[in-house]
Structure 1
């Protein structure tokens, strides 16, 4: 069953879309934190 779910998620563009948003969000937070704490 896990393989079926994995194949369905791997072929689902919505999951990939949210994955890109998640990665972009993490990168944004990391950059923002670097500017706040690294700029002092």
Structure 2
């Protein structure tokens, strides 16, 4: 779920704060956002 939310943020479909609100595990979501930012 968190990875999908992070991908939606990257695509510009969802705002980062909105996605963070919907994430089941905030820390996991933030980790996924960092991975995407680093290009992993």
TM-score by length of 1: 0.40
The answer to which structure, 1 or 2, has the higher relative contact order (CA under 8 A, 6+ apart) is 2
